[in-house]
Amino acid sequence: MLPVFTIELKGKTVVITGASQGIGEAIAEIFAESGAEVVLLARNESKLKKNVNKFLEKGLKAKYFVLDVAKPTEVEKVFKEIGHVEILVNNAGIHLNETIADTDINKWKELLEINLNGALYCSKAVIKQMIKNKYGRVINISSICGKTGYEFCGAYNASKFALIGLTQTLAQEVARDKITVNAICPGWIETPMAEEVFHDEKYAKYHQIPVEELKTTSLEAVPIGRYIHPKEVAYLALYLASDYASAITGQAINICGGLCMH
């Protein structure tokens, strides 16, 4: 029988971007329940406030800052106000359903600014401090779309492939400073973003599937036959943030029910 172990992050400050809903909200909750002081960042203040109040009512440590991670000067300002950070989770992201031929260039640039450059800006805001302290964890939420190109979401694919490249490079640069940098690659997660995709008539038309069948058809392609819950992603992030995972760095770990196996 395997020994039981628990993960405690008391005394650690954890910053999670895109923490107003979905995966980011779940990660913030699990990390707070593990004793960390969580700092939630996102653009939607009402959702941030609701989440933080929910955590505070449970006796957990949490606060929030409204932030658009695509604006480097705002990122620098907010992180200076936060202060010491041991763990950073770059989760903020948006989706764009378009063929490459029809992709709006301004929307492409906006997506890359949030999904890729936002992770760069936030990482730069904490990494020198982590190097100085000889400790840190950076966890980037990529996607299985960063492992395999999928039709009708080229901008999203490009950003998630690049995020894995950023993860691997930074991991090598800071490995000797006892800092780990890893990516998590989710598949179909039960989030508002996934629901938007499943109700996208253009996406359904492109794949020649009735929009009301998109969700069922997509989930049937998952070997385990279901959505992955955001908390399942959160527990993986918690493990990567812990000392148990101190030898894991530069990895892009799938959590997709078998949909992607490389």
What is the C-alpha to C-alpha distance for residues 19 and 91, in angstroms, rounded to an integer?
Answer: 8
Q: Are residues 175 and 212 in the same domain?
A: no
Q: Are residues 131 and 49 in the same domain?
A: yes
Written as six digits, the tokens of 224 are 């385990």
Q: Residue holding tokens 């490079």?
A: 169
Q: What is the pLDDT along the chain (262 residues), one digit of tens a residue?
A: 556 779 999 999 999 999 999 999 999 999 999 999 999 999 999 999 999 999 999 999 999 999 999 999 999 999 999 999 999 999 999 999 999 999 999 999 999 999 999 999 999 999 999 999 999 999 999 999 999 999 999 999 999 999 999 999 999 999 999 999 999 999 999 999 999 999 999 999 999 999 999 999 999 999 999 999 999 999 999 999 999 999 999 999 999 999 999 9
Domain-located, residue 5: no
What is the pLDDT at residue 3? 64
- Please tell me what DSSP assigns to residue 41: E
CATH number of the domain to which 163 belongs? 3.40.50.720
8 Å CB contact between 7 and 137 = no
Question: HEC states along 160-197?
Answer: HHHHHHHHHHHHHHHHHHCEEEEEEEECCECCHHHHHH
- What residues does 41 pair with on adjacent strands? 17, 65
Q: Are residues 44 and 83 in the same domain?
A: yes
Q: Are residues 59 and 167 in the same domain?
A: yes
Q: Are residues 210 and 109 in the same domain?
A: no
pTM of the predicted model, to two decimals? 0.97
Written as six digits, the tokens of 108 are 């492409």
Residue numbers of the domain that contains 204:
189-227
What is the C-alpha to C-alpha distance for residues 191 and 228, in angstroms, rounded to an integer?
Answer: 9
Q: Are residues 109 and 208 in the same domain?
A: no
Q: Are residues 198 and 145 in the same domain?
A: no
Q: Are residues 36 and 76 in the same domain?
A: yes
Domain-located, residue 90: yes
Domain-located, residue 259: no
What is the pLDDT at residue 5? 78
Q: Are residues 24 and 76 in the same domain?
A: yes
Is 156 one of the annotated active-site residues of the chain?
A: yes
Q: Are residues 248 and 181 in the same domain?
A: yes
The count of domains in the chain is 2
Q: Are residues 100 and 201 in the same domain?
A: no
Domain-located, residue 6: no
What is the C-alpha to C-alpha distance for residues 8 and 37, in angstroms, rounded to an integer?
Answer: 11
What is the C-alpha to C-alpha distance for residues 137 and 35, in angstroms, rounded to an integer?
Answer: 16
What is the pLDDT at residue 259? 97
| Phi/psi of residue 38, nearest 5 degrees | -100, 140
Domain-located, residue 261: no
Catalytic residue among 156, 206, 235, 239: 156
Domain-located, residue 1: no
Residue ranges of alpha helices (H) inside 58-191 are 72-82, 105-112, 118-133, 154-174
Q: Are residues 129 and 162 in the same domain?
A: yes
